[in-house]
């Protein structure tokens, strides 16, 4: 079983009886030994038997069940005999040997022939927020003792017991039954604070908590006469009054219900009032060494019924040094490792007699003897300040530094250096987020990226377009990540990684793919683009080659050409070639020129007729004599002759220039006209007719030797034989004196010579 007080180390005296008898134990944790099942009662008190016997010992009852002990929670007990009001201020409320307190005055009902509203209270079990302190009531303070005896039962005081003008001004109403404590003090630190709870019988009484503004005030007046009420709702100047703190009770809407603890049912612990607030902290900044006046006052409003009270926690009236709240990770006030925190006692260290002793984790810090301490690492720091022989004050604070989580060995981000091949790429830096988060304990971090470590540290010039960043250093660049935990936005770590551009496949501009036109329109339907793939690859492997009509399609890998291609621009067209690395996906483009070469123009030459000297329909023909007619003025063309179309198309079995026809009388040859540069060709036909001369049978031309007989000479008129020789043919007739001349058709005889 446990119980404690606010005296020294918290020890209390344990008794087996409610009154009299020597104590059986002194301390905070009592072990009665092995007990049989049943109910056992013990009583505790901060006083030994015979000392302050008017103080009611507090009962602690243990109900022993097999294997399961139960501790019955005790109630607040109130005493008005053990402490004077001065002692309540100096020994209970303040309890600080350095406190410079003076001019203590008070007023309550017993000053007006009524009950006393000022008392000391104890509740050592922990069931009530304060284990000890002072109570100021608008009625008999003893009625605060728990449990709650009845609804509205704590009602005392009459109208002869006046209220307080300062309280009247706070609530703009008249007050009655005011209990007041006032004193002067001189602070040794720059902060003042205390904790309190307000309770009342106005609570749980229907509309009373809506209409009766029983009120408490903590009035602080500086040496310039400026008065401030510290007993207000947090972050407001609304006074602590019953009408300002209550739930929705059916008679009126709730007022600041977050500050209302709850109603106290009849017969239940821990106080004798019908309801109370949560604990409040009143605090103010003060000037060290100046004299301040404090007034604590509570009173009923409008009437003198249904008491209200304020519980002031013992020792919470802090006039000593205050290093502040613990600085803990997650509290929002911690610092990052690498930064400094200054702990300040706020005590003037120019006074020679003041001694400062600083400690870290219980070990004294040598050479630290000023009013402040600079700390840079986690630990429990404390200070003893010796102001005078009888005045030593101390405080302790736990300081935690947040150590930002580091990341390392972040992978390189790659981007293809597509198309332009200049070492620049587009990088999605957000892809690194998952790699960073995977090294952290949670994903509640904000990550931003920077081009320099200095910018990352100073949180300036962050990269705005993180998902599409263009590197500023070709091929390889260092990027810095600033990693900020959402729970500690003032702390950060910096990691780095590389972004690198991957070179796409090497490209060349292949030689043009040329085809010959087949119909003189500059369009062909049989471009086989794959013929150029090996040339485009130029020995590279693992590369996909595709062909596209536009650069946009090539860069986007769209609408690739897969079949034999028909050019859409006559004569010349540019095709775009995409080379994509199978492994990296990086791509480059080049161009392929398509050229449609024209074929030689053709004419249909006239049929060549030749004579057959041998009368067999076979003759020898000089084919080259036909070239000029077939070329029709074209140059750069080679003409060859063939007996078949297949031979002409394949340029095989070329006929000799001196050609002897193979078919008697008529022959059709295939003529191939081939461009000497492009190799493109066209074909035509050349007809040949071999004319066989007719057989001429002419009777001898005989004349009698009449003229000068005997000389066998006469004049013959050869032309007289013309009709006989022509024999009706449509031919021309010439006469020669020799066979060879006739064959060569030279030296034909004239008509005169023939007659």
Q: How many CA atoms lie within 13 A of 664 on its CB side?
A: 6
- What's the pLDDT at 34? 67
Do residues 41 and 64 make contact, with C-beta atoms less than 8 angstroms apart? no
Domains detected in the chain: 12-72 (no CATH), 85-313 (no CATH), 335-402 (2.60.40.10), 413-502 (no CATH), 513-597 (no CATH), 608-691 (2.60.40)
Work out the burial of residue 738: count CB atoms within 10 Å of its CB; fewer than 13 is exposed, 13-18 middle, 19 or more buried: exposed
How many residues would you count in the chain?
755
Q: Taking the CB of residue 175, how many other CB atoms lie within 10 A of it?
A: 27
Do residues 39 and 63 make contact, with C-beta atoms less than 8 angstroms apart? yes
| CA distances (Å), origin 535, targets 315, 511, 512 | 94, 8, 11
- Looking only at the bridges linking them, the beta strands covering 413-416 and 493-502 are parallel
Distance of CA 626 to the CA centre of its chain: 84
Do residues 11 and 4 make contact, with C-beta atoms less than 8 angstroms apart? yes
Dihedral sign for Cα 296, 301, 303, 305, please: negative
Dihedral sign for Cα 484, 486, 487, 489, please: positive
Distance linking the first and last C-alpha atoms of the chain: 176
Alpha carbons 537 and 516: distance in angstroms, whole number: 25
Do residues 180 and 110 make contact, with C-beta atoms less than 8 angstroms apart? no
Q: How many CA atoms lie within 13 A of 547 on its CB side?
A: 25
Q: How many CA atoms lie within 13 A of 201 on its CB side?
A: 26
The CA-based dihedral angle spanning residues 550, 554, 558, 564, taken in that order and rounded to the nearest 10 degrees: 70
> Residues of the chain whose pLDDT is less than 50?
66-72
CA nearest to 304, candidates 172, 145, 117: 117
SS3 257: helix
SS3 342: strand
What HEC string does 545-606 produce? Answer: EEEECCHHHHHHCCCCCCCCECCCCCCEEEEEEEEEECCCCCEEEEEEEEEEECCCCCCCCC
| CA distances (Å), origin 631, targets 522, 621, 638, 680 | 21, 18, 9, 15
Do residues 154 and 139 make contact, with C-beta atoms less than 8 angstroms apart? yes
Structure tokens at 665: 């009388």
Alpha carbons 734 and 686: distance in angstroms, whole number: 30
- Kindly report the pTM of this predicted structure: 0.51
Q: What digits encode the pLDDT tens for the residues 557-616?
A: 999 998 899 999 999 999 999 999 999 999 999 999 999 999 999 988 999 999 887 788
DSSP one-letter string for 626-680 = GHHHHHTT--SEEEEEESSHHHHHHT-SPPPSEEE-SSSSEEEEEEEEEETTT--
Q: No. of H helices and E strands in the chain? A: 12, 43
Alpha carbons 735 and 719: distance in angstroms, whole number: 9
- What's the pLDDT at 10? 72
> What is the Cα gyration radius of the chain?
62
Q: Taking the CB of residue 10, how many other CB atoms lie within 10 A of it?
A: 16
């Amino acid at each position: 079983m446990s119980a404690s007080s606010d005296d020294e180390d918290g020890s209390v005296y344990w008794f087996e009886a409610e009154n009299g008898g020597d104590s059986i134990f002194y301390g905070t944790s009592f072990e009665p030994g092995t007990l049989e099942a049943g109910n056992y009662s013990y009583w505790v008190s901060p006083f030994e038997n015979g000392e302050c016997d008017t103080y009611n010992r507090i009962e602690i009852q243990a109900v022993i069940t097999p294997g399961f002990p139960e501790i019955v929670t005790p109630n607040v007990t109130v005493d008005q005999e053990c402490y004077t009001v001065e002692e309540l201020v100096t020994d209970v409320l303040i309890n600080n040997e350095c406190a410079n307190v003076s001019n203590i005055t008070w007023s309550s009902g017993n000053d007006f022939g009524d009950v006393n509203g000022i008392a000391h209270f104890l509740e050592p079990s922990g069931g009530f927020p304060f284990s000890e302190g002072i109570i100021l009531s608008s009625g008999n303070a003893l009625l605060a003792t728990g449990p709650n005896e009845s609804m509205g039962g704590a009602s005392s005081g009459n109208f002869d017991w006046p209220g307080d003008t300062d309280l009247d001004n706070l609530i703009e109403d008249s007050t009655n039954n005011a209990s007041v404590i006032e004193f002067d003090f001189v602070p040794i630190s720059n902060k003042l604070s205390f904790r309190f709870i307000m309770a009342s019988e106005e609570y749980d009484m229907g509309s009373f908590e809506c209409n009766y503004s029983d009120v408490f005030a903590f009035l602080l007046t500086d040496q310039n006469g400026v008065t401030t009420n510290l007993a207000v709702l947090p972050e407001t100047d609304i006074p602590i009054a019953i009408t300002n703190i209550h739930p929705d009770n059916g008679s009126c809407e709730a007022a600041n219900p977050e500050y209302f603890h709850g109603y106290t049912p009849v017969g239940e612990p821990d106080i004798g009032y019908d309801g109370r607030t949560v604990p409040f902290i009143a605090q103010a900044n003060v000037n060290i060494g100046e004299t301040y006046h404090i007034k604590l006052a509570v009173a009923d409003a409008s009437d003198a019924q249904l008491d209200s009270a304020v519980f002031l926690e013992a020792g919470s009236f802090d006039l000593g040094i205050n290093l502040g709240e613990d600085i803990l990770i997650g509290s929002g006030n911690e610092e990052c490792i690498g930064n400094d925190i200054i702990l300040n006692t706020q005590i003037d260290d120019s006074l020679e007699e003041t001694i400062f002793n600083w400690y870290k984790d219980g070990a004294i810090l040598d050479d630290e003897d000023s009013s402040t301490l600079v700390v840079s690492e986690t630990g429990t720091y404390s200070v003893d300040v010796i102001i005078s022989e009888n005045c030593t004050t101390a405080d302790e604070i736990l300081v935690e530094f947040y150590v930002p989580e580091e990341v390392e060995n972040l992978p390189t981000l790659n981007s293809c250096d597509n198309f332009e091949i200049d070492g620049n790429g587009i990088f999605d830096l957000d892809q690194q987020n998952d790699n960073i988060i995977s090294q952290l304990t949670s994903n509640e971090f904000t990550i931003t990226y920077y081009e320099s470590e200095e910018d990352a540290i100073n949180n300036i010039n962050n990269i705005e377009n993180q998902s599409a960043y263009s590197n500023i250093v070709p091929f390889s660049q260092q990027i810095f990540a600033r990693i900020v935990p959402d729970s500690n936005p003032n702390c950060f770590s910096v990691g780095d990684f590389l972004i690198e551009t991957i070179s796409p496949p090497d490209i060349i501009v292949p030689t043009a793919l040329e085809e010959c036109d087949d119909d003189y329109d500059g369009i062909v339907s049989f471009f086989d683009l794959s013929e150029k793939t090996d040339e485009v690859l130029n020995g590279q492997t693992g590369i996909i080659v595709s062909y596209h009509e536009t650069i946009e399609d090539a860069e986007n890998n769209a609408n690739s050409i897969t079949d034999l291609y028909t050019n859409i621009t006559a004569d010349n067209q540019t095709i775009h070639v995409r080379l994509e690395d199978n492994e990296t996906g990086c791509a480059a483009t080049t161009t392929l020129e398509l050229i449609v070469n024209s074929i030689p123009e053709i004419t249909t030459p006239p049929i060549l007729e030749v004579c057959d000297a041998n009368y067999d329909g076979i003759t020898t023909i000089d084919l080259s004599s036909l070239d000029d007619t077939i070329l029709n003025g074209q140059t750069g063309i080679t003409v060859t002759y063939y007996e078949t179309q297949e031979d002409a198309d394949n340029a095989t079995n070329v006929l000799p220039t001196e050609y002897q026809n193979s078919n008697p009388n008529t022959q059709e040859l295939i003529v191939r006209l081939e461009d000497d540069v492009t190799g493109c060709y066209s074909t035509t036909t050349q007809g040949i007719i071999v004319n066989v001369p007719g057989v001429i049978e002419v009777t001898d031309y005989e004349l009698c030797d009449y003229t000068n007989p005997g000389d066998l000479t006469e004049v013959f008129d050869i032309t007289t034989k013309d009709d006989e020789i022509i024999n009706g043919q449509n031919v021309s007739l010439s006469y020669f004196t020799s066979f060879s001349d006739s064959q060569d058709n030279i030296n034909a005889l004239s008509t005169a010579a023939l007659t």
